[in-house]
Structure 1
């Protein structure tokens, strides 16, 4: 047993708890003001539930946008479920918090990034990522494979 305090894992647990708290508030009260989220997650992670066609289209990472249209946001201790619109097709998703790679709210310049080391033993934590892949912008927009959005475009 190691006698060291693993601050990296403790930080991740705290930051995932923050995400859970924010999503629980949104589930109960809706998105306030101009807040919206870009959430990137690993589609291969244990516990991720999504349609087969989405898993085939995004065999690694996928970024969802919670902004204009979403429903059935249910937050539990391990993750959250949500229904999003993909090309006018509502699709339910379940995303464990441990599958999340980035969580960004560009309206207030807040972001978290969870990075795994090569060995997969320990994760590193950093704040606002430089870019975010946006997949589900607006229900009326045509879908694209991946648009890279610089957070600088959201800065005031």
Structure 2
């Protein structure tokens, strides 16, 4: 039996590729102009690397702000490493691209939102079952989309 075209996962891959290119450009040249990012991460992702105290404080998700102070930004095919400041304590992180649930650049009103499925962390591809939703994911099928920026504005 042949499967149909999985447009949802193809779109997720394309949008994560866009994030990869943006982060790589920032790693090479810094943030241009007023650009800055709010990146919400699923901290339970098995490849997410962060300090134990930070994971204990944010066991499900965290929103990172990449703006005025960051260093050691290195991008690879699967994610990016970055050092951010948490209460005057620099902390290195490794963020897999498939752990990102939202990526927003409020300076240009750009945003992406990903619906994370628990099987996105598995290498296996089960053709017969739909992926179970994570607890806080919406119940309807969605691909990447622009999110409202109102919740990020001061």
User: Could you state the TM-score of these two structures normalised by the residue count of structure 2?
Assistant: 0.81
- What RMSD in Å do the two structures reach over aligned CA positions? 2.2
**Paired residues, what number?**
136
Question: Is contact 1:74-1:81 (8 Å) kept?
Answer: yes
3-state SS of 1:125 partner = coil
- 4+ long deviations beyond 6 Å: none
Structure 1's unaligned 5+ residue stretches are: 132-148
Structure 2's unaligned 5+ residue stretches are: 118-130, 135-140
Question: Is contact 1:116-1:124 (8 Å) kept?
Answer: no
3-state SS of 1:84 partner = strand
Deviations 1:24-45 (A, max 9, x none): 0000000000000000010000
Distance across 2 between alignment mates of 1:35 and 1:124: 27
Shift of 1:120: 4.3
2:138 counterpart residue number: none
2:95 counterpart residue number: 95
Shift of 1:115: 1.0
Deviations 1:85-134 (A, max 9, x none): 0010000000000000000000000000001367149x732423236xxx
Distance across 2 between alignment mates of 1:20 and 1:2: 31
Distance across 1 between alignment mates of 2:93 and 2:37: 15
2:132 counterpart residue number: 119
1:31 counterpart residue number: 31
